[in-house]
Amino acid sequence: MGELMEHEELLQRTARMLMRRAGWVRRRALLLQALFIGFCVCLALAVWHRFVPLPIGRLVEFGLAAMVLCAVGAIVLGLRSRADPMGLLIRADRTLRLKERLSTAYELATSPHPHPLRPIVLQEAARVSRSVNPFRVIPSTTPRTLRWTPFLLLAIVLVLVVDFGMILPQSLIGGDERPSPLLLDQGQQLERLGKRLETEARRRGLERSVEASRRMQTLGQRLQNERVNEREAMARINSLAEYVRNLEEELKKMAVLEDVSISKVREVMVNQASVSGEVQRLLGMMGRGKLSPSEMRNLQERLQSLGQQGALDERLSEAINQLREGDLEGAREMLENYLLQDQLAQDFEHLKRAERALDGSFEHGLDPGEEMDQDHPGSEGGEFSNDEMAGDPRGGSGGLPGDFEGGDYLDSEGMGSNSSVGSGRGAESEAPRGRIPEANAPASRITGQSGDGGVRRSYVRALPLKADAAIPLEDVITTYQKRAEESLLREEIPPNNRDLVRAYFLAIGLAEESAGSEGKDEQRDR
């Protein structure tokens, strides 16, 4: 009995050992399956996150919760499941090729009916059960579905990281909805700003700025078209706005974005206003008494605009500084001094030129009186021969020669001296911008002796040269002025050219502006 019991106990122990092993393997397999299901849930959450964005922390919490739930479910299932000992023994028989010894013996051992061969069957089973290795009978196997786990993880990462807006149509990724109006507006603004910056940067030849402005435009378009996280988008916009501000500052420093100043400069140039005229207008503004802050700002800007066209010297800078400090009187005084000195300098320049001309005339022994009468541009225009008129700027309507700019006021040194006159013909569009009103003066023909028996011809604008004049300037200027005014009154000057004549006299300070005749008298006195 004892031997039989021992054999039976050995068989039962083998069965229990196999059951434990089977339970462990099953629980492990269930846990792995649960892990896989958890990953699937994480993938689903990631996909959901693409459509309905969740905070990353919340997303991670959901994913972990799903994994834990699956694991708990697997453990519960594993604890509840019980392996059938008969099935395990059959498996052991088949795996270890025991020829159904264990299963038959177990059946006899658990059967209520006695069997004549039960003792030897149990003995045989007990003998072979010692060789039963549960790890061989029930090896640990990994569920086949887990082969897809790496792909699943990769898919999760891809779904979370990859911007599908670049790959898939918007309709597939829930992009049918329009972005919020705020984003749309910001995107449009960004795009506009980018275009504007690109234009300016291109004009200035700033390659990096052009590139940056293009990126801004692209980002602006994306903001309008993509459905992105609003918070994220706003952060992006803020950083971009800061970048744009910096860029704008830089461009401002380079006067790229100074549209106001540029327009002012253009205005000054188009209106043929001289620096002095602008200074006079500024003084007029300052003479009205106390200025409002906006007027003060306007004043500063106009002074700066003068600086932009190259007229900003130390005195004007000082005037601007005084304006900034609120010292209106000081600035006014400074500007008046500047204007006075400028006028004196111009007058002195005229005198020097006249003196140079007279010296040249004496040297060549010409009768300047005849020539002056014959060549006066205001009264006798159109009398020159064709070759002499070649360099006449009046031939082009509104076209002005550029010789004042370069200082070639008079070329008295050779036959080719009229080249500078002719050069102004082809620059009709540029002329109004960089010329002072003196450039509108008609050309005069000056003929004189040059060397041994040579005849010298020169074309000048503005005042006649000293060498061609028989009477000092002071004596004739009043006559000329009167004649000019009479001509204007007689309407002998063609209506189209009256403005030019007026501008000429205004430029040389010998005529009065209709708006400021009082100042004109003062200047004439000076």
Partner 1 sequence: MSSATDEARSAELRQKAEGIREDLHRLIREIEKVIVGHREVIEGILISLLCGGHVLLEGVPGLGKTLLVKSLGRVLNLQFSRIQFTPDLMPADIIGTNVVIEDESGRKHFEFQRGPIFAQIILADEINRATPKTQSALLEAMQEQSVTVAGIAHHLDAPFIVLATQNPIEMEGTYPLPEAQLDRFFLKLNVTYPSIQQLEEIVDRTTQRDPTELQNILDGERVAEMKEFVRAIPVAAHVKNYAARLVLATHPDSPYATDLSKRYVLYGSSPRGAQSLVLGGKLKALLDGRYNVSFEDLRTIAIPSLRHRVILNFEGAAAGIEQASIIAEILEKTPEVVRGA
Closest approach of Cβ 65 to partner 1, in Å? 36
- The residue (of 107 and 411) whose beta carbon lies closer to partner 1 is 107
- Of 178, 28, 16, nearest in space to 102 by CA: 16
Mask for 399-438, x = binds partner 1 (CB under 8 A): ----------------------------------------
- The residue (of 4 and 476) whose beta carbon lies closer to partner 1 is 4
Total chain residues near partner 1 (CB under 8 A): 25
- Of 396, 441, 439, 401, nearest in space to 419 by CA: 401
Q: Does residue 435 contact residue 428 with C-beta atoms inside 8 Å?
A: no
Among 63, 66, 78, 101, binds partner 1 (CB under 8 A): 101
Is 56 a residue that touches partner 1 (CB under 8 A)?
A: no
- The residue (of 124 and 191) whose beta carbon lies closer to partner 1 is 124
SS3 category, 282: helix
SS3 category, 417: helix
Among 52, 80, 112, 116, binds partner 1 (CB under 8 A): 116
- The residue (of 2 and 416) whose beta carbon lies closer to partner 1 is 2
Q: Which two tokens stand for residue 150?
A: 């790496």
Residue with tokens 């009046």: 394
Is 99 a residue that touches partner 1 (CB under 8 A)?
A: yes
Nearest-angstrom CA–CA distance, 82 and 106: 18
Is 4 a residue that touches partner 1 (CB under 8 A)?
A: yes
**3-class SS letters over 194-232:** HHHHHHHHHHHCCHHHHHHHHHHHHHHHHHHHCCCCHHH
Distance of CA 276 to the CA centre of its chain: 37
Is 3 a residue that touches partner 1 (CB under 8 A)?
A: yes
Per CB under 8 A, which region of 2-10, 243-251, 254-262, 423-431 contacts partner 1? 2-10
Long-range (24+ apart) CB contacts under 8 A made by 330-338 are: 331/286, 332/283, 332/286, 332/287, 335/279, 335/282, 335/283, 335/286, 336/283, 338/279, 338/313
Mask for 120-149, x = binds partner 1 (CB under 8 A): xx-xx-------------------------
Is 90 a residue that touches partner 1 (CB under 8 A)?
A: yes
Is 6 a residue that touches partner 1 (CB under 8 A)?
A: no
Contacting residues toward partner 1, per CB under 8 A: 1-4, 86, 90, 93-94, 99-101, 103-105, 107-108, 115-121, 123-124
